[in-house]
C-alpha cells in the first residue's frame, strides 16, 4: 500500500530538519500536501528552516516580525487551512448567488495586526489557496496573492477588526434579498423568526463609495452592537468572534430571513410576531452566546418595535395640497363634508315623513 503524506507529515519532516525532497517517489500526497510542496518551490514558498518553525509556534507573528518568520507563517499548515476555508466560503457565496462578477470579499485575522484576505478581480467561487493575500491592518499587502492585489474593499474589513477586537473573520457580499432591504433603506422587521433574533444583529450604514476609508468608518461605527451591517445601495458585511464560517452563516441567516419576510408580507395577512417576553427569552440565549445586540437590557415594552416597516406594498395618499396643508388633512375635511351631507339628507328625510 502506498504511504499517504499530509501537510502535517511534511511539517514534521521540516521540523526535524529533513528534506521534503527526500520523500520516496511512490508516496501519495494529499491535495493540501501537494499545494504545500508547490508553495515551497514557487515564489511564495521559502524553505522552512527548522529554527523558524520552532520560533513561530512559540511566539505570535505580526507585521513587524522578520520577513523569514512572516513567510514561514504564511506558508504554514495552519494558514494553509485558513486559506482553504476562505476558498470554501467563497465557493458557497458564489453557489448561493450572494456574489456576482468579482464582487464580495473575505478576511480572517491571523495575528495581532495581520489578516488573510481575498484578492481583487477574481470570482469568489473559483479561488485557490495561493490566491489569498496577507495584509497588515493598514491594508498593505505583505505577501501572497499569486500576482494579484488584495481586495480593494479590505479597508472596511480591517476597520471592523480594529474597532471590534473580537472580530476574527469578516465576510462581505451582495445577497439580493438583503441588498434589496439595503437599497430601500429598510432595516428588516424583528420578532418573526428565532434564528434571526439569536444570531443576527443588523443595522444600516449610509452609502459611500466602496473601498473608501469613509465607508469603512461608517460600518465600523456600528460593529460594537451589531454583527451584520447592511450597506445602503451596496450589500452586506458581517463579522464573527468564532470563525469565517460563522461570519458566513450570518449571511445565510439574514438572506433567508429577508426572503421569508418578503413572502410573509405578500400573503394578504399581517405577519404575526412573537411577544416581547418571547423575544426576551431569545435575547438571553443570544447574550449567553456572546453575540452583541443593542436591545440587551431594554424593557419588554421597548422590544419588537417595527416602526418603519410597512408590510406589503400599500398605496398611501399623502399628497401636499397647493395651500400647503397635508393630503390627509384634506381627506379629513372631505370626510367631514360627506358626513354632513348624509346627515342633512337624513334630517330632510325624517322631516318629510
Residues that bind Zn ion (CB under 5 A): 235
Which residue number, 207 or 309, has a Cβ lying nearer to Zn ion?
207
**Element (DSSP H or E) covering residue 128:** none
**Shortest distance (Å) from residue 184 CB to Zn ion:** 18
- Cα 306 to Cα 192: distance, rounded to the nearest angstrom: 11
**Shortest distance (Å) from residue 335 CB to Zn ion:** 49
Residue with cell 360627506: 338
Which residue number, 214 or 344, has a Cβ lying nearer to Zn ion?
214
**Shortest distance (Å) from residue 156 CB to Zn ion:** 9
Which residue number, 216 or 235, has a Cβ lying nearer to Zn ion?
235
Q: Which residue from 240, 114, 110, 230 is spatially nearest to 173, judged by alpha carbons?
A: 230
**Shortest distance (Å) from residue 226 CB to Zn ion:** 18
Q: Is 153 a catalytic residue?
A: yes
- Answer yes or no: are the C-beta atoms of 231 and 171 closer than 8 Å: no
Which residue number, 76 or 159, has a Cβ lying nearer to Zn ion?
159
Which residue number, 83 or 124, has a Cβ lying nearer to Zn ion?
124
- Answer yes or no: are the C-beta atoms of 118 and 144 closer than 8 Å: no
Crossing angle of helices 77-95 and 67-74, in 10° steps, is 50
**Shortest distance (Å) from residue 256 CB to Zn ion:** 20
Residue with cell 470554501: 88
**Shortest distance (Å) from residue 234 CB to Zn ion:** 6
- Cα 308 to Cα 188: distance, rounded to the nearest angstrom: 9
Q: What value, to the nearest 5°, has the Cα angle with vertex 11 and ends 8 and 13?
A: 110
Q: What are phi and psi of 128, to 5 degrees?
A: -115, 155
* In 7-109, alpha helices (H): 7-15, 31-41, 50-58, 67-74, 77-95
Most distant CA pair in the chain, distance: 117
- Cα 48 to Cα 70: distance, rounded to the nearest angstrom: 11
Tell me the CA distances in angstroms from 104 to 120, 121, 122, 132, 228, one per residue in order. 9, 10, 10, 14, 15
Q: Select which of 41, 97, 112, 153 is catalytic.
A: 153
Which residue number, 37 or 89, has a Cβ lying nearer to Zn ion?
89
Catalogue the active-site residues: 153
Amino acid at each position: 500500500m502506498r504511504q499517504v503524506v499530509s501537510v502535517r507529515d511534511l511539517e514534521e519532516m521540516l521540523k526535524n530538519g529533513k528534506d521534503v525532497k527526500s520523500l520516496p517517489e511512490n508516496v501519495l500526497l494529499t491535495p493540501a500536501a501537494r499545494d504545500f510542496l508547490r508553495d515551497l518551490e514557487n515564489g511564495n514558498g521559502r524553505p522552512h528552516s527548522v529554527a523558524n518553525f520552532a520560533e513561530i509556534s512559540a511566539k505570535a507573528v505580526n507585521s513587524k516580525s522578520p520577513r523569514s518568520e512572516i513567510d514561514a507563517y504564511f506558508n504554514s499548515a495552519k494558514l494553509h487551512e485558513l486559506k482553504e476555508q476562505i476558498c470554501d466560503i467563497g465557493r458557497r457565496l458564489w453557489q448561493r448567488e450572494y456574489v456576482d462578477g468579482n464582487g464580495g470579499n473575505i478576511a480572517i485575522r491571523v495575528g495581532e495586526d495581520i489578516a488573510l484576505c481575498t484578492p481583487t478581480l477574481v470570482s469568489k467561487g473559483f479561488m485557490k489557496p495561493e490566491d489569498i493575500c496577507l495584509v497588515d491592518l493598514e491594508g498593505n499587502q505583505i505577501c501572497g496573492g499569486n500576482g494579484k492585489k488584495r481586495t480593494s474593499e479590505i479597508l472596511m474589513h480591517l476597520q471592523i477588526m480594529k474597532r471590534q477586537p473580537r472580530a476574527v473573520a469578516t465576510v462581505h457580499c451582495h445577497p439580493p434579498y438583503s441588498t434589496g432591504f439595503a437599497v430601500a433603506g429598510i432595516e428588516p422587521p424583528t420578532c418573526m423568526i428565532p434564528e434571526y433574533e439569536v444570531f443576527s444583529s443588523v443595522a444600516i450604514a449610509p452609502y459611500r463609495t466602496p473601498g473608501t476609508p469613509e465607508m469603512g468608518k461608517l460600518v465600523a461605527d456600528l460593529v460594537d452592537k451589531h454583527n451584520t451591517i447592511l450597506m445602503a445601495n451596496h450589500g452586506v458585511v458581517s463579522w464573527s468572534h468564532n470563525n469565517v464560517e460563522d461570519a458566513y452563516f450570518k449571511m445565510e441567516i439574514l438572506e433567508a430571513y429577508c426572503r421569508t419576510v418578503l413572502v410573509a408580507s405578500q400573503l394578504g395577512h399581517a405577519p404575526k410576531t412573537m411577544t416581547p417576553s418571547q423575544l426576551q427569552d431569545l435575547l438571553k440565549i443570544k447574550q449567553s452566546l456572546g453575540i452583541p445586540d443593542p436591545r440587551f437590557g431594554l424593557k419588554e415594552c421597548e422590544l419588537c418595535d417595527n416602526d418603519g416597516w410597512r408590510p406589503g406594498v400599500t398605496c398611501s395618499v399623502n399628497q401636499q395640497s397647493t395651500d400647503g396643508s397635508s393630503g390627509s388633512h384634506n381627506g379629513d375635511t372631505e370626510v367631514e363634508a360627506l358626513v354632513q351631507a348624509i346627515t342633512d339628507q337624513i334630517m330632510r328625510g325624517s322631516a318629510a315623513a
